[in-house]
Amino acid sequence: MFKKEIIILYYGLRDKRTAVIAGLPVIISVIYLLSPIDLIPDFIPFFGYIDDFIVISLLLNLSIRLLPGEVREESLLKASRHQKKLALIFFLIVIFFIALLAGIFFFTRYLINK
């Protein structure tokens, strides 16, 4: 569902009928995610990362609620139409990174054994 919310927000925030205030929670969530300041520090096992997940999810959910109803509906339709294509792109990116890591591994192994 998280991936679908991101896609809905992508289409919803690009629409001209969307107010600027709807994008504010997205900006705050990105700042919070990149900020070294957390509600619960990350070095505390499990809870340090769970608070990031909860805060980001709540802010993204708020941003989706702030979208106008018709924009939200259209974005949901666009997201469901493009979900298969995006899944394929995501799969290809994962395969590319696996191949890249394997190539780096074998190249460094070749250099070490040389």
Full-model pTM: 0.64
pLDDT band at 109 (very low <50, low <70, confident <90, very high): very high
The residue whose two tokens read 């941003």 is 63
Cβ-based burial of 20 (10 A; exposed 0-12, middle 13-18, buried ≥19):
exposed
List CB contacts of 83: < 8 A, sequence separation 6 or more: 4, 7
Give residue limits of the domains in the chain. Answer: 2-84
Model pLDDT for residues 52-73, shown as the tens digit of each residue: 888 888 888 899 888 898 998 9
